[in-house]
Structure 1
Amino acid sequence: MDIVVLCGGNSTEREVSISSGYNVCQALREKNHNAILMDVFFGMDNCDIFETSKSTYDVTKEKDYIKSLSTKVKETEEKRKSFFGNNVIEICKKADIVFLALHGKNGEDGKCQAAFDLYGIKYTGSGHLASAMGMDKAVTKQIFMSKGVPTAKSVWVKKGEDTDLNRLNMSLPLVVKACNGGSSVGVVLVKDEKDYQNAVEECFKYDNEILIEDFIEGREFSIGVLNGKALPIVEIIPREGWYDYENKYKDGATTHVCPANLSDELTEKMQQVAVDACDAIGCSLCSRADVMMDKAGNMFCLEVNTLPGMTSTSLIPDEARAIGVDYPSLCNKIVELSLNKYK
């Protein structure tokens, strides 16, 4: 099949997206697909790329070129109003399907998905509405509470509103999060009152709305959900600190234990929480739920991810390997399941 692996963009997670896209593109070519890597924000000049990429195509060279454009993102944003780069829509229309390896704003938040729906372009992952709701942590929380998905206590605050903890009935320790962000960008753990206001200001740099959430002390887990079924649970154990951006993407910074060391009863319960959380948002095909469990065994779903990372340190590939599905086969499975939704 002719497949566009779409990556890059103009979000704070651009580099993560390029890494995911590179891995996916290589994997799909291993499965004999005519896959190409394209930056959604910069595009490419060659509209007939699929003709030449059948025989010769250097994924590493294209990845390096896309990475070299990262320094031009801000300058390009100032010069043009449109998001999609040169020939992006035209090339995506020619593809059998687009594999979305996008992360963060404009790629993971439903905007690309909605545009592709209107253009009749097939793509992997959840639809535009689930993507938009899953990206917004405050909206996700409201849905969790209405659907009975266990989640940490939190308060949704817009810029300019009162952030006094006493009046918000919140207490330390807590986590301050930009509502629309991912990869732990715009997320600050606060244990000391003197750091609270700085954390609020830092998160408002990324979004006009923030979530002030109870810090759940305990063990952290992630559960992939593939086609409505939970994958084996992975426990995330950072060597230092907590599971922030650096620990997520720095090789060796975090230990992933999969399957997690849990009793059968707790495993089944946590997998059901993950399935319920993804179902509540309306996620389809491949998604991921992040769950904390305190010392008493209480579980709290923090959020869902509608386009899970596919980097060398990402969690979904770990979980798939635990059931004997290697990385190229996982990518191929996501493509197959995604095409099925269009039948």
Structure 2
Amino acid sequence: MRIALLTGGSTSERDVALAGAAQVAPALRSLGHEVTLVDTVEGVLDEERERALLGVATVRTEPPSRERLARLRRREDLPRLVGERAVSRADLVFLVLHGEQGEGGAVQGLLDLVGVRYTGSGMLASALAMDKRSSKRLLRDAGVPQADWVEWPADAAEVARLGRPVVVKPSVGGSSVGVSIVRDPGDLAQAVVAAAAESSQVLVEAALPGREFTVGVLGERALGVGEILPAHDFFDYECKYTPGLCREVFPAEIEDWLAERMRRLALETHRLLGLRDFSRIDFMLDAEGEPAVLEANTLPGMTATSLLPQSAAVCGLGFGELCGEICRLALER
């Protein structure tokens, strides 16, 4: 099968996407597929350029600077790329993109227009899940447990009602870029500025005190539950991509009822948001030890040590098998 692996991007998660592509491409080739890499900035890559780009693909401990991202965006032309023969004639586009550009629905909409099948959720579901404000409203209305939150700007009484500490986060974004934990009300304004640099909408959320977990979803199946044990106050960008700063335990060492509760909530969240093929749902425990949904990731990280592959491994699925199953689900639609 001819697969175009669309990766790179011009968001703060570009390095994460390239590191994933460096793992997914050989996995798909080992399954017998003809894989062409397409970087949204560099274009269609021949073998030499692929080796040059992916051979050194690592995730830096700091996201790309705003200046670097601006330079990348000036060179990017997604509508033209989608019209490239390597993409338009592909049997399937495998998406290894992160951030608003890859997970916000724009790429999915372009691929829908040219009639090319692709992995993961569709345009509308992607846009909904990427916008935390909208997805949290939907999940709240459906009764899915989550932390209390308000949209900024909010008056002092609304923020005080959340208690301390609070989490300030961009409504749109990923890899915890722009996220801060605020314990002192005097630090709130600075945290809002950091979040607003990533998204025009900012959320202020009660910080839950419990342990952090994640569950992968593949098709109609919830995968293994994993626990995230970061060295920092929360699972920030540095912890996610710096070796040794986070320990991940798969399967999580928890009681069966709690694991089953999170697996059910993961499937419910996946379905309520209209997601398809695969996703990853993140959780925190509240003060009573009950799980609350943090967010849904429609295109979770795909390096061999990313959370979704580890969740799949609990169920006996190796990395190559996971990639193959994602392709199968996309082609069966």
Q: TM-score, normalised by structure 1?
A: 0.88
Post-superposition shift, 1:59? 4.7
Q: Give the residue type in structure 2 aligned to 1:321.
A: A
Post-superposition shift, 1:163? 3.7
Q: 1:135 aligns with which of 130, 138, 160?
A: 130
Q: Is 2:239 the partner of 1:267?
A: no
Corresponding residue SS for 1:223: strand
Give 1:14's aligned residue: 14
Q: Is 2:279 the partner of 1:287?
A: yes
Give 2:61's aligned residue: none
Contact 1:22 1:37 survives alignment (8 Å): no
Unaligned runs of 5+ in 1: none
Corresponding residue SS for 2:100: coil
Query: C-alpha deviations, 1:219-264, integer Å up to 9, x for none?
Result: 0000011102110100001134321011111222211111111211
Give 1:123's aligned residue: 118
Q: Give the residue type in structure 2 aligned to 1:326.
A: G
Q: Is 2:52 the partner of 1:61?
A: yes
Query: C-alpha deviations, 1:287-341, integer Å up to 9, x for none?
Result: 0110111342221101101111112431011111112211111111111111111
CA gap 1:76/1:300 in 2 versus in 1, 3 angstroms: closer
**What is the CA–CA distance in structure 2 between the aligned matches of 1:36 and 1:125, rounded to whole Å?**
18
Q: 2:89 aligns with which of 83, 86, 94?
A: 94
Query: C-alpha deviations, 1:82-114, integer Å up to 9, x for none?
Result: 434657643211111010000012211011001
**What is the CA–CA distance in structure 1 between the aligned matches of 2:257 and 2:10, rounded to whole Å?**
43
Please report the RMSD computed on the Cα atoms of aligned residues, expressed in angstroms: 2.2
Post-superposition shift, 1:78? 4.1
Q: 2:316 aligns with which of 320, 324, 333?
A: 324
Q: Give the residue type in structure 2 aligned to 1:108.
A: E
Q: 1:219 aligns with which of 192, 206, 211?
A: 211
Q: Give the residue type in structure 1 aligned to 2:282.
A: D
Give 2:34's aligned residue: 34
**What is the CA–CA distance in structure 2 between the aligned matches of 1:14 and 1:154, rounded to whole Å?**
29
Give 2:330's aligned residue: 338
CA gap 1:236/1:76 in 2 versus in 1, 3 angstroms: closer
Query: C-alpha deviations, 1:185-212, integer Å up to 9, x for none?
Result: 1111111222111001111111110111
Post-superposition shift, 1:284? 0.7
Corresponding residue SS for 2:78: coil
Question: Bigger CA drift: 164-173 or 309-318?
Answer: 164-173
Q: TM-score, normalised by structure 2?
A: 0.91
Q: Give the residue type in structure 1 aligned to 2:73.
A: E
Contact 2:147 2:292 survives alignment (8 Å): yes
Post-superposition shift, 1:41? 2.9
Q: Is 2:201 the partner of 1:205?
A: no
**What is the CA–CA distance in structure 2 between the aligned matches of 1:108 and 1:3, rounded to whole Å?**
19
Corresponding residue SS for 2:260: helix
**What is the CA–CA distance in structure 2 between the aligned matches of 1:295 and 1:148, rounded to whole Å?**
18
Give 1:299's aligned residue: 291
Give 1:74's aligned residue: 70
Q: Is 2:98 the partner of 1:106?
A: no
Give 2:157's aligned residue: 166
Contact 2:208 2:287 survives alignment (8 Å): no
CA gap 1:93/1:85 in 2 versus in 1, 3 angstroms: closer
Contact 2:36 2:86 survives alignment (8 Å): no
Post-superposition shift, 1:175? 0.3
